[in-house]
Structures are given as structure tokens and as C-alpha cells.
Structure 1
């Protein structure tokens, strides 16, 4: 397994306190309480930005609240997760490099084998998440009807219902490069490359704990927690086992890109009501 390099000595130009924070975050291992906090904090921030800024904004513009989550992630997920990684990279390396911050970047798996591994993982994600949707709906109806997010518990077509076709199409198309591609890549860099790599004391349980905490991070869809652990676990597990972050990036971003793109195309061709 990978031996995580110890951080280089870091500049103190920004003051002693930021340096101590960076050293703690760049340590070979994180304590479980620290890891839990780093997993859940961006989720809480995303929900707060959605409720206070993104949802009112998109509704005032005549777009469905579904688009508000993309806006909230753009305003909260990217600055918190990617911003933190870049800041730590600068503290460690003197520039905006992720070396020593994000692990599993050495690409040990040959490209053909990587593709042969990622494609079945995408099919697993799509098939299992679809099969478990009735369970998600049951959990929502039983426990989470009180969640204050408009359109919670419904599918994308339910969330978009009642809006003009052009508005629905624009909302979905805008999300392709965001929730369909960019945000999943950032999440994998942060949750797997940065946080999971620092759960090494847990051994083979590291990808399991990483997946559980990642599922809890999705505070906006708590009813999907159990199914997300099931359909998502193989990606982190193989990334940890193979020491190659491209596995989980390929599964995660590959699946969301396929879903977002096919959903948009289906709406464009009037294949969905």
C-alpha cells in the first residue's frame, strides 16, 4: 500500500497559526473526529447557501429549485473543497500543486485496465441505484417528509414539472458540466485523495468509513444514505486497493455525466413527459 509522504516544511509568511492548521491537515493521519468534521462541514455549508441564496435566486429568475443545488455547490463546494486543497498545496509546495495533499495520483493502473475496471463500476452504480430507488422513496415517505427542500423526494422530472420546456432544458443543460462532471471530480480529489488517504490507520475499513461519511455529507438527500453506501462503495474501495484515484473519479464523474447528459438529451427529444 502507499506510504504517505510527510509534508515538507512550510512557509510561515502567513503567520504561525495558519501554518499549524496546515500542518495538522497535511499530517499523515487525521483523527476520526477531525475527519468527520472535514467530511460534514462542506455539506452543511452547501445546504445553508442553498436555503439562504441559491434557491431564492433561481426561483426569482423563473428556474426550478433543482438548479439551485448546482448554484449552491458552485458557491460552497468548490471554494471549500477545491479551495482548501489548493491552499494546502501552496503551503506545502510553494505553489498551486496538489502533490503531497491529494494522494493516489501516481496512476499505477495501465489505461486499458483502468477502462476495463471503470466501465463495470459505472454499470454497477447505474443498475444498483435504480434498483434501490423504491427503498429510497419508502425511507423518504416514512422519515423525511419534513425536509424543507422544494421537490425533495421526487425524481428530476417531478422537480422540473410545471416549467416551460425551454426552462427545463436550460436547467438540465447547465448542470452537465457542473453536477455532471466538475463537482464529482472535485469531490473525489477532496474525499478520496485527501481525506480517505489520511484514514490509513483503519486499514481496509478506510474506504468503508470514507463512503459512509461521504454519504452523510449529502445532507440534502438523507433518505438516499443507505443506498448511496451500497452503490458507491466499490469506487472508493478499488481506488484504495489499487492506489489509483482515477478509479473513483471515473466511476463517480462517469456516472453523473452519463445520467445528466442522457437526461438532457431525452428531454430535448421529448422522450420524457
Structure 2
């Protein structure tokens, strides 16, 4: 009797959620069928090759189709990286906000900015990256030779990672990788470490958003130019990443900075 009551209660709640979602569409993302469907599409759908291009099809958190492109050195970018062209072009470095795997390669900040200026914008977005990662990219690819390097810092979270001492060997088994990450994964500072900013990066411009401000960087001795970004929630997907319109606003701020500099 009790089992039947529990089953009927569960079925009633499930039916209520389905009907409410279909007719109102106002449920929270936790219970949103549309959001769940979009996430399933995005995560579990194997990217399909697009004829005659290097692009593949994926889905953003709203379930809309987007195009992704991986360039000649493995970064999500609309163009290949050409080291000998750095001196006359610009670079954008950051985490998944720059990578734009969620929003789409041709909706990225780098792509939008590239179309606004008479120069190329090379894109170095690292999903889950932090300031140590960005500094490594700067050194690895000799970005000191670029006209300017814009580094997007996603809040104080990017400043709490300690540099990893040893590289974790990847396993073919996901469970082994998860265990390794727990045992040998990232170590953190108890508070944001502003000493991670390297003072000798003379062609760097920092972009800060979320809970990090220009004033906090200046107070802690960062001497490079800083652009403070304020983008409302209406320009974000449900997972917090910026939409194409949000990326346009950031690209416009960089464009304005370049015009004022010239």
C-alpha cells in the first residue's frame, strides 16, 4: 500500500512539472525540461562535421545550434595561429569565456573584435583556466611579440590556484582520472594571490569582471592597463557564460580602448 502511494505521488509530481513547464515555461533551470534537453544535446551529441570546412556543430545552453572550430594549435578559434604575424596583430587569452565553446566560435569575443578592426585577433581560450594558465600561454607562444595581449580574468577565482607541481598522467578510464584529480589535483591559496600577476608583461591589458575590479588590481600593484567589465545577467546563458550579445559588449569595450589609445 505504501509503495503504491509513493509511486502515485511521484507520478503526480512528475506530471505536474511536465504540464507546468509546457504551459508556463517559468520553472527554474533545475526542473526545466527545455534546459535539460538543451544540455543533453550539447553534452552528448557528437559534433557533426560541416561540409568543406573544419567546423563542427554543437549546441548552446538554449539548445540552439552553434559552430565550433579548432585551429592549427588546438585552440577553439576562427583563425589559425601564425607566430610570424604577431607583431601586427592582437591576442585574446582567458578561460571558457574566451574559448567560447558554449557560445560558438563565430560568436566569440575574438571573432567579433576581429571583424571590427583592421587586424587579426588570435584566440587562446582555455576551459577552466586560471592566471597561471594564461601566463604559461603568454610564454609558450611568445606573445610578447604581439601588438597587445588582452587577458580576461574571471573574478577572484582565477587568482586562487597554486601552480601545479607535477603533471597528472591521463588514463583511458574516467574513474581513474577523477581519483587522480582528487589526490593530485589543483591546490588553492586561502585568498586571492595578486602576486600571480607578472609585472614584466608590458604589452598586456587585463579585462576584469564578476567580483574582481580595476581598483582591487591597482591597489595590489598591477601596473598594466585594466578594463573593467559590467555585463548584466540578461546577457548570460543559464550557466553564467555570456551570450553573443554579451560578447559584443566586451568586444566593443576593447574596440573603444584601442581607439582611445591611437
Query: After TM superposition, is the score higher than 0.5?
Result: no
Using the size of structure 2 for normalisation, the TM-score is 0.23
Larger radius of gyration between Structure 1 and Structure 2 = 2
Higher relative contact order (CA 8 A, sep 6+): 1
Higher helix proportion: 1
Higher strand proportion: 2
Using the size of structure 1 for normalisation, the TM-score is 0.22
